[in-house]
C-alpha cells in the first residue's frame, strides 16, 4: 500500500529558482497519493504569483519568520503520513520522492530518511561548483544511517514531527534548525536512514562575500545548537573534522598575534598552519585523483578561508549564547 505523502517547501524571495523546483516536483515518478505545500515566508518578489499559477499546489502565506517556522507551518497543514522537506532552490530528480520514502518499510524505528546531493544547478559559477564538489565528497563517508542531515532533502514521519514538536523556531534563518531536528529525532529513539538514490540538484551561492557571511552565521548559531544539545559537541558524520579545522584556525590567529610580541610563537604558528593544511587535504587529494588539480587548489583555499569564518562566528556565538538566559 502506497503511503500518503506531503512535500513541504519553504520559500522566501525564490523567484529565480522556484519554477525549476515546481516543475521537478510535478514530474515525480511516484504513483501514490502526494500533495505539494509551499509556504511563502513573506516574500517581496513574485514568489506568490509563481506558486499560485499551479492550482494543484497548496499555498500558505506567513509573515517573514524564517524557514523553521515555515516548515512547521507546512507540516501542520499537511495530510500525509510522511512529510518530505526540500527547498525552493532544489531540483529533485524524477525518482527522488519514490526513493526517499522507501526505507520507511525497513523497520518502525526509522523516523526519518535523508536523500543525497546530485549536481550543482548553477554550474556556471566557480564558487557554486566548489561548494557542490565538497558536498558530494562528504556523502562518500555516509553509510546506511546518519546522525545529521539537511532539510533540503529530508523525509520525516508526521507522528515523529508531532512527538518532537517539529523544528525549533528560535532560528530566524536557515542555519542549524535541521541539525537540531535530527538530534531530537534520535533522542526520541528513532533512526535516520540515508538513501543515496534519493537525489536532488541544488543551487549554491555564487557570491563569495555572501557565502562567507552565511558561514559566519552558521558558526554563530552552532553555539546555540550545542548549548541545546551538549552531547553533540563531539560532532557528527556530516561535519567530519570541522571542529578540528575551527580549533586550528583559532590557534593560527592566536599564535600570529602573539608572534608579534615574541618570536617563540612563530614555530607553533607554523605547526598550526601545517595542521590546518593536513585537515583540509582529503578533499584536495580526492579532486586531484579526478585530474582536477587547479580546481582542487581553489577548493582547498576556499576551505581555509571558510574555517576562519566559522571561527569568528563561533566566538561571537559563544559570548552571545553563554549570556543568554
- Residue 147 pLDDT > 70, yes or no? yes
Mean of the per-residue pLDDT values for the chain?
A: 92
pLDDT digits (tens, 9 = 90+) for 243-288: 888 888 888 989 999 999 999 999 999 998 888 888 878 777 777 7
- Looking at residue 31, its pLDDT comes to 86
Structure pTM?
0.91
- Residue 206 pLDDT > 90, yes or no? yes
pLDDT digits (tens, 9 = 90+) for 57-81: 999 999 999 999 999 999 999 999 9
- Looking at residue 141, its pLDDT comes to 77
- Looking at residue 2, its pLDDT comes to 65
- Looking at residue 325, its pLDDT comes to 64
- Looking at residue 67, its pLDDT comes to 96
- Looking at residue 158, its pLDDT comes to 97
Segment 178-194 mean pLDDT: 96
CA dist 268 and 284 (Å) reads: 24
Q: In terms of pLDDT, which residue wins out, 242 or 199?
A: 199
- Looking at residue 248, its pLDDT comes to 86
Segment 30-35 mean pLDDT: 90
- Looking at residue 184, its pLDDT comes to 97
- Looking at residue 53, its pLDDT comes to 95
CA dist 11 and 47 (Å) reads: 7
Weakest-pLDDT range from 11-15, 49-53, 72-76, 129-133 = 129-133
- Looking at residue 323, its pLDDT comes to 78
- Residue 198 pLDDT > 90, yes or no? yes
CA dist 252 and 250 (Å) reads: 5
Segment 214-233 mean pLDDT: 94
Extract the C-alpha cell encoding 201.
Answer: 540538484
- Sign of the C-alpha dihedral, residues 194, 129, 284, 312? negative
| % of residues, the chain, pLDDT over 90 | 72
In this structure, the dihedral spanned by the alpha carbons of residues 10, 81, 148 and 42, taken in order and rounded to 10 degrees, is 10
Segment 172-199 mean pLDDT: 95
Q: Which domains does the chain have, with CATH numbers?
A: 5-205 (3.90.550.10), 207-325 (no CATH)
Give bridge partners of residue 92 from the DSSP assignment: 200
The SS3 assignment for 238 reads coil
Give bridge partners of residue 321 from the DSSP assignment: none
Alpha helices in the chain (DSSP H): 18-26, 47-52, 67-76, 96-101, 126-139, 158-164, 177-187, 208-228, 242-259, 266-279, 281-289, 293-322
Amino acid at each position: 500500500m502506497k503511503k500518503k505523502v506531503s512535500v513541504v517547501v519553504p520559500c522566501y524571495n525564490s523567484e529565480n529558482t522556484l519554477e525549476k523546483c515546481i516543475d521537478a516536483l510535478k514530474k515525480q515518478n511516484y504513483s501514490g497519493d502526494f500533495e505539494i505545500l509551499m509556504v511563502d515566508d513573506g516574500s517581496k518578489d513574485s514568489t506568490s504569483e509563481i506558486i499560485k499559477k499551479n492550482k494543484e499546489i497548496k499555498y500558505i502565506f506567513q509573515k517573514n519568520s524564517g524557514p523553521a517556522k515555515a516548515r512547521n507551518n507546512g507540516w501542520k497543514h499537511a495530510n500525509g503520513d510522511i512529510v518530505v522537506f526540500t527547498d525552493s532552490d532544489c531540483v529533485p530528480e524524477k525518482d527522488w520522492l519514490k526513493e526517499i520514502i522507501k526505507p520507511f518499510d525497513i523497520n518502525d524505528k526509522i523516523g526519518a530518511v535523508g536523500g543525497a546531493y546530485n549536481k550543482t544547478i548553477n554550474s556556471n559559477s566557480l564558487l557554486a561548483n566548489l561548494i557542490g564538489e565538497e558536498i558530494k565528497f562528504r556523502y562518500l563517508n555516509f553509510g546506511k544511517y546518519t546522525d545529521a542531515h539537511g532539510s533540503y532533502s529530508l523525509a520525516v514521519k508526521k507522528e515523529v514531527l508531532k512527538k518532537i514538536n517539529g523544528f525549533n523556531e528560535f532560528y530566524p534563518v536557515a542555519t542549524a534548525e535541521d541539525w537540531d531536528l535530527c538530534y531530537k529525532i534520535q533522542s526520541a529513539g528513532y533512526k535516520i536512514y540515508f538513501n543515496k538514490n534519493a537525489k536532488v540538484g541544488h543551487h549554491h551561492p555564487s557570491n563569495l562575500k555572501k557565502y562567507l557571511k552565511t558561514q559566519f552565521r552558521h558558526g554563530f548559531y552552532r553555539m546555540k545548537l550545542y548549548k541545546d544539545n551538549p552531547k553533540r559537541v563531539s560532532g557528527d558524520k556530516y561535519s567530519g573534522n570541522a571542529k578540528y579545522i575551527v580549533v586550528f584556525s583559532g590557534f593560527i590567529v592566536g599564535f600570529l598575534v602573539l608572534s608579534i610580541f615574541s618570536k617563540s610563537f612563530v614555530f607553533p604558528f607554523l605547526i598550526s598552519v601545517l595542521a590546518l593544511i593536513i585537515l583540509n587535504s582529503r578533499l584536495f587529494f580526492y579532486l586531484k585523483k579526478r585530474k582536477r588539480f587547479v580546481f582542487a587548489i581553489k577548493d582547498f583555499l576556499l576551505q581555509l578561508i571558510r574555517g576562519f569564518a566559522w571561527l569568528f562566528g563561533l566566538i561571537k556565538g559563544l559570548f552571545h549564547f553563554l549570556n543568554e538566559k
